Structures are given as C-alpha cells and as structure tokens.
Amino acid sequence: MVFLSKYAFLGVPNSKSRLAGAVRTNGNPAALPRRKSLRFCAHVILRSCFGTRQMEVTNEPQYASETRSWDPSDRRDVRRVIEHWLRNTWATDSIPLLETFDFSPMKGDWGHRFLICGDDAVEHAVFVTYGAGFAQLLGLPQKPITTTPFVQQIPELYRAMFSEGYTKVIAESGPVHLKGTFTKRSTFEFYRAVFLPIMLHPRWSKQLMFGTFNFRAIGA
C-alpha cells in the first residue's frame, strides 16, 4: 500500500502506532516547527482513522445564505454530539482517548461536525476533517486543507467564536458549549456550537477538538 510505504520510516506496524510516531516526530516533539508537526499529525489521523473518505460536498464552496431556514434538528445535533462524546469517556470528568473513540456513528456523514488537531495555541491548529454541512455553511473546500491554520480558512465573522471555544477547551479540559448572535448586514445569525476535547496521549500536548456548529438566520 502506498500509505504504508510512505510512512514506513516511522518503523511502526499499525495505524495507532503510526499516529504515535507522527506526533512524537521520532521521539523529539521539537524536531519540526509546530505548525508543520500539526499538519503531519492531522494528515496521519485522517488517513489512519477515516481512510480515504471524502466529504460529500457536491457544489462549489459558497458562503451561507442569509435566508437559510431553521432546522429543528440543529439543536438536537449539539445534544447528540455531547452525548456521544460522554459515551466515549472512561470515567467521570475524563477526556476520551482517540484510541478508543468511536467515530462509526457518523458513517461518512458528518453534517455540521468538525475535527481539529492542535496544541495550546489556536493559531496553529488545523482541520482534520469536517462534514458537508459544515463546509457549505462556512464556504470551505470539499477536502479539508491541513496546510493552513483553520482559523485562517473560516470567514472572519466566525473566527473569534471558534477561537474562544478552542481556547476554553484547552484551559478547562472539558466540554464548551457556546451560543449567541452574529450580525451580518441586515441579518441576525443565532448560532450554537460545542467544542469537545479528545486526547491523543496523556503525555502529549497535542490533542483533537471534536464539535459541531450551526446557526439560523433571521432578517432584520
């Protein structure tokens, strides 16, 4: 397989071990610049955990319509994501481990959900994967770009909120649920988002951020 030969230099036999070697960069976390190391980490996680799955975005990237209607399932999705994350925890107030986290319920349809790989600095974090709904909502490309920090890819209007959610998870080591309002010209966007940590390894500073984001737009 091309994937196995490409990462054969890590000297490990399976996907979880490939991930371990990638994040540690052969035993020296400082061997690569932080951003390059995170890009590599995100790439290995994507290939190891999700194979070659592609996002099902059929149209060219576009920004969310101001007339987008409210779907009652949006609020329920936040609850479902939190409940799924809790089912994967191993004890009260614990953080799930990637090794045992079950992504299978998404079954290739991530909707408005996303997965980010990063460290303690949000400006270095990168996308690992996301759903078609999330991509269309934020005007993102069909295939996640891991060479550019995720905050630089999303529209400026939403950057502060995503940065807040990410930073709070790092500080609090637990779920962060945000809701509020964005104002875009004559439209109010009432949003809900949740950010949930997933641990790569107890001793590693890098971790994953699993979550969902959606909004309903109402004209003034």
Per residue in 135-179, pLDDT (tens digit) is 999 999 999 998 899 999 999 999 999 999 999 999 999 999 999
* Out of 4-8, 37-41, 187-191, least confident range: 4-8
Q: According to the model, what pLDDT value does residue 220 have?
A: 63
Mean pLDDT of 203-216: 91
> pLDDT averaged over the chain?
77
Q: Provide the pLDDT confidence category of residue 6 given band limits of 50, 70 and 90.
A: very low
Structure tokens at 119: 């460290």
> How far, in Å, CA of 198 to CA of 200, rounded?
7
Structure tokens at 25: 């960069």
Query: Are 95 and 89 in contact, with CB atoms under 8 Å apart?
Result: yes
Per residue in 103-115, pLDDT (tens digit) is 988 777 799 999 9
3-state DSSP of the chain:
CHHHHHCHHHCCCCHHHHHHHHHHCCCCCCCCCHHHHHHHHHHHHHHHHHCCCCCCCCCCCCECCCCCCCCCHHHHHHHHHHHHHHHCCCCCCCCCEHHHCCCHHHCCCCCCEEEEEECCCHHHCEEEEECHHHHHHHCCCCCCCCCCCHHHHCCHHHHHHHHHHHHHHHHHCCCEEEEEEEEECCEEEEEEEEEEEEECCCCCCCEEEEEEEEEEEEEC
> How far, in Å, CA of 119 to CA of 125, rounded?
7
Q: According to the model, what pLDDT value does residue 14 have?
A: 42
Structure tokens at 182: 């964005």
Structure tokens at 189: 């966007």
Superfamily name and number for 60-219: PAS domain (3.30.450.20)
Single-letter amino acid, residue 96: P
Maximum average pLDDT range among 14-28, 63-77, 123-137? 123-137
Closest listed residue to residue 184, CA positions, set 67, 59, 48? 67
Tell me what percent of the residues of the chain surpass a pLDDT of 90. Answer: 49
Maximum average pLDDT range among 29-38, 49-58, 179-188? 179-188
Per residue in 7-29, pLDDT (tens digit) is 222 233 344 444 444 444 444 44
Say what the pTM is.
Answer: 0.74
Q: According to the model, what pLDDT value does residue 35 have?
A: 63
Q: Provide the pLDDT confidence category of residue 74 given band limits of 50, 70 and 90.
A: low
Q: Which residues pair with 126 in a beta bridge?
A: 117
Tell me what percent of the residues of the chain surpass a pLDDT of 70. Answer: 71
> How far, in Å, CA of 97 to CA of 89, rounded?
8
Q: According to the model, what pLDDT value does residue 172 have?
A: 92
